[in-house]
Amino acid sequence: MKILLLGSNGQLGRAFVELSKSDAFPIGWVLAALDRSELDYSQPKTIETRVRLEKPDLFLNCAAYTAVDRAETERDLAELVNGRVPTLLARMAKDLRIPLIHYSSDYVYSGEGEAPHLESEPHAPLNHYGFTKAMGDAGIQDSGCDHLIFRTSWVFSPTGKNFVKTMLKVSKEHSELRIVNDQVGAPTYAPDLAKYSLHAIMRALEMKATGNAFPSGIYHLTNAGAVSWSGFAAEILPGKTILGISTEQYPTPAKRPRNSRLDLDKFQSTFGIEPRPWTEALKDCLRALKLREEAGLHD
Ligand SMILES: NC(=O)c1ccc[n+]([C@@H]2O[C@H](COP(=O)([O-])OP(=O)(O)OC[C@H]3O[C@@H](n4cnc5c(N)ncnc54)[C@H](OP(=O)(O)O)[C@@H]3O)[C@@H](O)[C@H]2O)c1
């Protein structure tokens, strides 16, 4: 089984690369990991040739345009990377008869109410990033290829750009922090997202190999629990003064949903695995960050 991982330098891409070196990765499976310099989604004409050369058995798409505020102005590029190229990959997957694994976002929902969103809810994005992610989801579903779309939220990890690293950095510069307290979601640890995805991929392939249908569809996949950004900051920085502020007090170019809670039942009942709480994952991330700092690694 040769997995072609695209976007190997992102939070999730790097988590998969690490996972592939561990005992959890099935014997006989190979991960071919390409970063942006090896396969650039802004050059879609080069993609087909490059991908066919690799002769993959499965696409694992971890590449995405994730700069939510910048997407309001770089609209075409965000649409290309998050919408048109995933659709192209899905059509290739259909043609090659291989599955495509892809990631979507809580930002495809408008975030009304307080109940966790269900996968069956319609898209109603508040910002262009969410619109482009919804475009990718629809393109993949329409292609008819075998696919798993994992819709996740608030991704953090010891590497890359994320809220945990930003909070640790700004806490050194300010005695108190003013953080939004009226947007609620589930922080999701990239190494957990990779681990739970791998479990689901193995289960889905097993289903197909035993004569059942590949369980194509959208699945919410986050760590368990939910918290506001200010609550998340308080857990990252115990003892620090965190002042909760409203979304209106922290204006951003892209609007964000208030309610990013995602219902995990479909993922859990289909694949038989229950994600652990985000608080436990955060402890692992903080430990990993400390080790990286001691080793002089800063990325
Ligand atoms: N981060 C979150 O909070 C969050 C929340 C909900 C959903 N998601 C989804 O989860 C998935 C993984 O996110 P992540 O946090 O791992 O994102 P990330 O850390 O921003 O990684 C995205 C990767 O995509 C690559 N990329 C960007 N433009 C590209 C292009 N034109 N061609 C090829 N590669 C390109 C980036 O390359 P460079 O390293 O060269 O920049 C980066 O390595 C994405 O589908 C994302 O939409 C993320």
CA distance 60 to 66: 17
Q: Express as a percent the part of the chain with pLDDT over 90.
A: 94
- Own/partner pairs, 268-271, CB within 8 angstroms, 24+ separation: 270/200, 270/203, 270/215, 270/219, 271/196, 271/199, 271/200, 271/203, 271/204, 271/219
Residue 244 lies in a domain: no
Residues with Cβ within 8 Å of 134's Cβ and at least 6 positions away in sequence, in order, are 104, 108, 123, 125
CA distance 283 to 236: 9
What confidence category does residue 299 fall into, taking pLDDT thresholds of 50, 70 and 90?
A: confident
Residue 168 lies in a domain: no
Tens digit of each residue's pLDDT (9 = 90 or more) over 17-36: 999 999 999 999 999 999 99
102 neighbors 248 (Cβ within 8 angstroms): no
CATH number of the domain within which 14 lies:
3.40.50.720
The pair of structure tokens assigned to 92 is: 């290739």
Residue 148 lies in a domain: yes
Range of the domain at 149: 2-156+188-223+261-276
- Give the pLDDT score at 297: 85
Number of domains in the chain: 1
Backbone φ and ψ for 167, nearest 5 degrees, come out as -60, -45
Kindly give the distance from the C-alpha atom of residue 198 to the centroid of ligand 1, in angstroms, as a whole number. Answer: 18
Residue 181 lies in a domain: no
What confidence category does residue 298 fall into, taking pLDDT thresholds of 50, 70 and 90?
A: confident
Tens digit of each residue's pLDDT (9 = 90 or more) over 100-149: 999 999 999 999 999 999 999 999 999 999 999 999 999 999 999 999 99
The pair of structure tokens assigned to 104 is: 């979507």
Residue 179 lies in a domain: no
CA distance 4 to 54: 8
Does residue 241 have a pLDDT over 80? yes
Cα separations (Å) of 41 from 65, 78, 88, 127?
10, 10, 10, 21
Mutate to test the pocket of ligand 1, among 36, 65, 197, 219 (most ligand atoms within 8 A of CB): 36
Identify the residue whose C-alpha is closest to ligand 1 atom 13: 12
- What dihedral angle (degrees, nearest 10) is formed by the CA atoms of 126, 234, 275, 103? 30
Residue 235 lies in a domain: no
Kindly give the distance from the C-alpha atom of residue 65 to the centroid of ligand 1, in angstroms, as a whole number. Answer: 6
Query: Which amino acid type is present at position 89?
Result: L
Q: Is the pTM of this model over 0.85?
A: yes
Residue 127 lies in a domain: yes
Residue 133 lies in a domain: yes
